[in-house]
Structure 1
Amino acid sequence: MSKLMDKRDGTTGTGGSGQGTVKKLIPYGGYYTNKTVGHDPELTETGPGTPTGEYMRRFWHPICMSMELTDTPRFLKIMTEELVAFRDGSGRVGVLHAHCVHRGASLEYGAIQERGIQCCYHGMVFDVDGTCLHVPFPAGEEAEAEKYACSIRQGAYKAVERNGLVFAYMGPPDEEPPFPEWEGDFTVLPGDELVPYSNFQHCNWLQVQDNAADNYHPTALHAGKNVVGGHYQGTTFDEVGAASMEVAPDMQFIPVQNGRSLACAGARRVDRDRLFIRVQHQALPNLSLHAYTSEDGSRKKLFSRFHIIRWTVPVDDENSKMIGWRVMGPGIDTRGIGKKEWVGYESIDFLEGQVAMRRPERFGQYTIEDMPPIPQNHRERANYKEAQYAPGDYEAIISQRPIAVHALENPTKFDAGLYMFRKLLRDAVRGSNPAASPAGFAEWLRSVAGAPNSYCSGNVLEIPLAADIKDEVAQRRRISKGIVAILTEGEHLKGEERAAWVRGRLEELEQSARGA
Structure 2
Amino acid sequence: MDTKVDNTKLPDTSKPKKLIPYGGYFTSKTPGHDPELTETGPGTPMGEYMRSFWHPVCMSIELGDTPKFIKILNEELVAFRDKSGAIGVLHAHCVHRGASLEYGAIQEHGIRCCYHGMVFDVDGTCLHVPYPKGEEKEAAKFACSIQQGAYKAFERNGLVFAYMGSPEKEPPFPEWESNFTVHASDKLVPYSNFQHCNWLQVQDNAADNYHPTALHNSSNVVGENYQGTTFNEVGAASMEVAPDMQFIPIHEGRGLACAGARRVDKDRLFIRVQHQALPNLSLHAYTSEDGAAKKLFSRFHIVRWTVPVDDENSKMIGWRVMGPNIDTRGIGDEGMVGYETIDFLEGQVAMRRPERFGKYKLEDFPPIPTNHRERDCYKDAQQAPGDYEAIISQRPIAVHALENPTKFDAGVFMFRKLLRDAVRGTNPKASAEHFYDWLQSVKGAPNSYCSGNVMEVAEGATIEEEIAQRRQVTRKIVQILTDSDNLKGDARTQFVMEGFEALEQSTKK
Given that 1:272 and 1:465 are in contact with CA atoms closer than 8 Å, whether structure 2 keeps it comes out as yes
Given that 1:291 and 1:304 are in contact with CA atoms closer than 8 Å, whether structure 2 keeps it comes out as yes
Q: How does 1:311-322 map to 2 (within 5 A)?
A: 311-322=305-316
Pairing 1:425–2:426 present: no
Q: Which residue of 2 aligns with 1:126?
A: 120
Given that 1:270 and 1:297 are in contact with CA atoms closer than 8 Å, whether structure 2 keeps it comes out as yes
Q: Which residue of 2 aligns with 1:45?
A: 39
Structure 2: gaps spanning 5 or more residues:
1-8, 355-361, 369-374
Given that 1:17 and 1:409 are in contact with CA atoms closer than 8 Å, whether structure 2 keeps it comes out as no
Q: Which residue of 2 aligns with 1:272?
A: 266
Question: Deviation at 1:113?
Answer: 0.4
Given that 1:213 and 1:282 are in contact with CA atoms closer than 8 Å, whether structure 2 keeps it comes out as yes
Q: Secondary structure at the match of 1:453?
A: coil
Identical pairs, percent: 78
How many residues align structurally?
486
Question: Separation in 1 of the partners of 2:445 and 2:403?
Answer: 37
For residues 182-210 of structure 1, the C-alpha deviation after alignment (integer angstroms, 9 at most, x for no partner) is 11111341221100001000000000000
Given that 1:279 and 1:457 are in contact with CA atoms closer than 8 Å, whether structure 2 keeps it comes out as yes
Q: Secondary structure at the match of 2:468?
A: helix
Q: How does 1:231-310 map to 2 (within 5 A)?
A: 231-310=225-304
Question: Deviation at 1:460?
Answer: 0.5
Q: Which residue of 2 aligns with 1:500?
A: 494
Given that 1:78 and 1:316 are in contact with CA atoms closer than 8 Å, whether structure 2 keeps it comes out as yes
Letter in 1 for 2:134: G
Q: Which residue of 1 aligns with 2:175?
A: 181
Question: Separation in 1 of the partners of 2:136 and 2:367?
Answer: 44
Pairing 1:227–2:221 present: yes
Question: Separation in 1 of the partners of 2:386 and 2:227?
Answer: 12
For residues 434-486 of structure 1, the C-alpha deviation after alignment (integer angstroms, 9 at most, x for no partner) is 11000100000000000000000000000100110001000010000000000
Pairing 1:96–2:95 present: no
Q: How does 1:409-420 map to 2 (within 5 A)?
A: 409-420=403-414
Structure 1 moving runs of 4+ over 4 Å: 15-19
Question: Separation in 1 of the partners of 2:455 and 2:381?
Answer: 37
Structure 1: gaps spanning 5 or more residues:
1-14, 361-367, 375-380
Pairing 1:342–2:346 present: no
CA 469–17 in structure 1, closer or farther in 2 if over 3 Å, else same: closer
Given that 1:82 and 1:97 are in contact with CA atoms closer than 8 Å, whether structure 2 keeps it comes out as yes
Given that 1:65 and 1:198 are in contact with CA atoms closer than 8 Å, whether structure 2 keeps it comes out as yes
Q: Secondary structure at the match of 1:350?
A: coil
Q: Which residue of 1 aligns with 2:359?
A: none
Question: Deviation at 1:101?
Answer: 0.2
Pairing 1:436–2:430 present: yes
1:151 to 145, 150, 154: 145
1:54 to 48, 51, 71: 48
Question: Deviation at 1:382?
Answer: 6.4
For residues 361-402 of structure 1, the C-alpha deviation after alignment (integer angstroms, 9 at most, x for no partner) is xxxxxxx9862699xxxxxx9611211111000000000000
Question: Separation in 2 of the partners of 1:92 and 1:77?
Answer: 20
Question: Separation in 1 of the partners of 2:28 and 2:248?
Answer: 36
Letter in 1 for 2:477: I
Given that 1:466 and 1:475 are in contact with CA atoms closer than 8 Å, whether structure 2 keeps it comes out as yes
Pairing 1:388–2:382 present: yes
Letter in 2 for 1:222: H
CA 412–505 in structure 1, closer or farther in 2 if over 3 Å, else same: same
1:407 to 396, 401, 404: 401
CA 460–373 in structure 1, closer or farther in 2 if over 3 Å, else same: closer
Question: Deviation at 1:133?
Answer: 0.2
Q: Which residue of 2 aligns with 1:72?
A: 66
Question: Separation in 1 of the partners of 2:390 and 2:166?
Answer: 36
For residues 262-309 of structure 1, the C-alpha deviation after alignment (integer angstroms, 9 at most, x for no partner) is 000000000000000000000000000000000000000000000000
Question: Separation in 2 of the partners of 1:269 and 1:256?
Answer: 25
Question: Separation in 1 of the partners of 2:351 and 2:68?
Answer: 20
Q: Secondary structure at the match of 1:386?
A: helix
Letter in 1 for 2:306: T
Question: Deviation at 1:23?
Answer: 6.8
Given that 1:353 and 1:359 are in contact with CA atoms closer than 8 Å, whether structure 2 keeps it comes out as no
Letter in 1 for 2:252: N
For residues 376-429 of structure 1, the C-alpha deviation after alignment (integer angstroms, 9 at most, x for no partner) is xxxxx9611211111000000000000000010000000000100000000000
1:204 to 194, 198, 208: 198
Question: Separation in 2 of the partners of 1:179 and 1:213?
Answer: 23
Pairing 1:453–2:465 present: no
Question: Deviation at 1:233?
Answer: 2.1
Letter in 1 for 2:92: A
Q: Which residue of 2 aligns with 1:363?
A: none
Q: Which residue of 1 aligns with 2:159?
A: 165
Question: Deviation at 1:342?
Answer: 0.5
Question: Separation in 2 of the partners of 1:166 and 1:103?
Answer: 28
Given that 2:270 and 2:455 are in contact with CA atoms closer than 8 Å, whether structure 1 keeps it comes out as yes
CA 185–497 in structure 1, closer or farther in 2 if over 3 Å, else same: same
Given that 1:74 and 1:86 are in contact with CA atoms closer than 8 Å, whether structure 2 keeps it comes out as yes
Given that 2:112 and 2:119 are in contact with CA atoms closer than 8 Å, whether structure 1 keeps it comes out as yes
For residues 305-333 of structure 1, the C-alpha deviation after alignment (integer angstroms, 9 at most, x for no partner) is 00000000000000001000001110000
Question: Separation in 2 of the partners of 1:349 and 1:194?
Answer: 14
Q: Secondary structure at the match of 2:344?
A: helix
Question: Separation in 2 of the partners of 1:506 and 1:217?
Answer: 27
Pairing 1:469–2:463 present: yes
For residues 53-78 of structure 1, the C-alpha deviation after alignment (integer angstroms, 9 at most, x for no partner) is 00000000000000110100000000
Letter in 1 for 2:280: N
Question: Deviation at 1:224?
Answer: 1.1
For residues 24-72 of structure 1, the C-alpha deviation after alignment (integer angstroms, 9 at most, x for no partner) is 5111110011010011000000000000000000000000000110100
2:78 to 65, 78, 84: 84
2:184 to 183, 190, 204: 190
CA RMSD between the two structures: 1.9
Q: Which moved more, 1:117-126 or 1:231-240?
A: 231-240
Q: Secondary structure at the match of 1:128?
A: coil
Question: Separation in 2 of the partners of 1:168 and 1:33?
Answer: 43
Q: TM-score under structure 1 normalisation?
A: 0.92
Question: Separation in 2 of the partners of 1:250 and 1:353?
Answer: 25
Question: Separation in 2 of the partners of 1:154 and 1:267?
Answer: 52
Given that 2:227 and 2:384 are in contact with CA atoms closer than 8 Å, whether structure 1 keeps it comes out as no
